[in-house]
Structure 1
Amino acid sequence: MRWAQAQQAKVLHRMEIVFRDDLLQDIGREDPGLTFSLAAEEAAAILCLPTNTAKMLMSDAGQLCSTHTTTLAGLEQGTLSYGHVQTVLDQSQNVPEAELASFEKDLLEMAAAGQTSSQFRVKARRMREKAYPETIKARHKTAFEQRRVCLAPDEDGMSWLSALLRAARAQLIYTQLTTAARGEQAAGDPRRVDELRADILADLLEGGEAVGDDGGDAGGDIHDGCADDGLDNGGNKDAKARARARTEILVLINAETLFGADEQPVELHGYGPISSETARRLARQAAHWTPVERHPGTDEILRVGRRRKVPAGLQRWLRARDGTCRFPGCRTNAVISELDHTKPWSHGGTTDHDNLEHLCRRHHMFKTRGFWKARQRSPGIIEWTSPGGRTYRTDPHLTLVPGPAARNPAAPDNPVALEMSGWSSVGEARNDYGENPPPF
């Protein structure tokens, strides 16, 4: 297995060289960072990995095949695990070039002494801090620039919200949450400390009293996908809630579940299934609806109700259909992605559902500059061609059921695209419910 990991590193490094020196020679001289990104995107698509994971592997491969060939040899011979290799590479950052080989040798000797990857990580870090204390400031500055907040969906209607912060600040926040939780327990609160830390953090960020402590999700005002959380149990907003920003969410629920006839799971855009009880709590505050008609047997989308302002309704539908950026492997939420014409508007592309898709800013740039090419062979199904000539297909989060004309190709004019889009009155006229359509 370790030998195979070493071969993968060699191939990944070779891919980077091919993209930089052969396939994208001119761009490689102009912008080596861009050619690295394009090579990593191709590797991610081939290996079915997230882009950032492929970037990390390709970056590791570049170091192993250039400055850390001894470490690569140890991996190939099976004396090192990939966890040990990553520790060597991490702790070698900012070490003076003239001293890098000797420092790598010292690390490898320590790794060979029967250390697990976790044990080796701790000892290697101590060795690094002792040998090169002057690099701490530079490394901390680099790490500080990577601070961020992450949202990761979990099971059973829960998600992880985490933040990468300065160590001292993170420790202070955690200590304050723990102190507050212990105080609540001392006052008679029956919740566990872990529960209290989470609830107190949510209360502070929401700026009001939490609504979801009974095991459900927090309620809130929904304005056609816009949520303004922070209602108290009586449904009245306090001053803090009035001052808070409105946030957009999208919930897909069928009529039977909405009115309590069944308990089918409901789709929370950007997360996945949530309980029907939670969805009804959100829906009770809804001010506007966009009707979506589904096939009763397959739950596939048949058509979407129109609104007076068609572009806004079409945008909502595309956000629900795509879910995320439509580039292979990308999971950037459609809410923060950009709508793009698959066939450019300047080249005759139409503004309809079968010529639009969501792309994050980065992948939008890749397509606009012609590195990756996209085609919608059928509505919502996008075929991508990479700079290396490989093809990949991405499917929408929600699918469409073809109209009668699609099932009968001999039908006149074959208006399947219009029938599926829901924005044109093909066949029987449909009602326009204006700004406040009822749910379907």
Structure 2
Amino acid sequence: MNAMVTASDEQMKSLDALVEMARDAERSVNAMQAARDGVLALASRLAMSMVEQQGDADEAELTLRTVAAELAAALRVSDRTVQRRMADAEVKVDRFPAVWAAQGAGRISAGHTRVIVDAGMHIDDPDARAAYAARVLEFAEDESPNRLRPIAERLAEQYQARSLDERHQEARETRTVWVKEHPDGMSELGVFGPTALVHGALDRLTQTAKSLTAAQKQSTDSEPGEEAAADLRTLAQKRADLALDLLLTGAPAGHDTPDGLLSAIVAKVTVTVPALTLMGATGIESPAAELEGRSPIDPQTARMLAGAASGWDRVLTHPIGGAMLAVDRYRPGKELKRHLRARDQRCRFPGCGMPVRDSDLDHTKDAASGGPTADDNLAALCRRHHVLKHHSPWHVIQLGDGLLEWTSPTGHVYIDRPPPQNTVTFTDNTRHADDHPDDRPADPWAATSEALLAPF
């Protein structure tokens, strides 16, 4: 039995107090990090104002380096580290002031800010960038950084002046492989390339490693009289060994079975392609295709993958709100599983971003207790949170429309919503002043930040 079940009222009150203290401390830390970014951005502006007074642009880098060295000596860190932080801070403060202010007010964390800035870095138009920031902040205040990333990337695509196809062709030119040395005779081999290919390579390694484990088990079971050496490698270790085997020999020769089972495995990736994107529709703002609901991929690659697929799931969404209505498929299959995987996309415990492919479909109300096997009583949970649900005082109920209400052992309630679908929605362009009232009190941090940066 989980110890939380038998905890005393006094212990639960202490835990509740610690939760509130941690929340307050986190807000303070985020606000102080934003304040530090403001100071570093001011230092960068001050250095540039010194250069402008002399009119010598060639001195800019040296002046920035000198200012960074002054700060680094006082903070007892590397001047290279400070200069990098100054550059990052200037991007946040200058290009994403609303995001910086939200962090300063403790509404989002430094992790949220990093995700928002990374996704919107290449939006050059200031008005488009501000509109993107305003929309993504609505999600950032409710989601964890890892869940926010695919949402931010999807929103950023809507404000890009250049198409993803064009940017992808340019980005492909930067593909590379590198080696990074580590202690104890180890090194890291990295590959930077097109998303579909990289994920496909990882999927092939995973399938191969699992098939190898199954083949080894079958061999041991079929020859009980012979003692085979146990393969104690983890899945990650097998993937690493297979990757090097493939790269060095061109095939998993050192691991393959006599019948060539492993060489026959092909990679498998899951791509969501809006119908308008698939058709190449022009004149309509259609979203980019997505890999596993996480990473945008260029439409040309998506259309190629769709054309070669033997069948695909169709996700029907509401044309106004974008909510998922149903899932069907040209070929017969397990409709309910496809429906839930398309709806949930990742683990439904608050803050968890584990993809649905690595999660279990769990009965919210246990089947043994009469819970139906239906979409309003099933949700994806990764193994970690599946165990937590069944063996701890965490409690969950379904509210309808895919909403899950989680109650913590201390009584805090968290609503987990299904991630938005990758689809086109249509809205009325006519807006009224009272359509979306903002009754949030004035943000003192925003006013302070404007006054602080005014001289520069």
TM-score (normalizing by structure 1) = 0.42
Q: Which has the higher helix share?
A: 2
Higher relative contact order (CA 8 A, sep 6+): 2
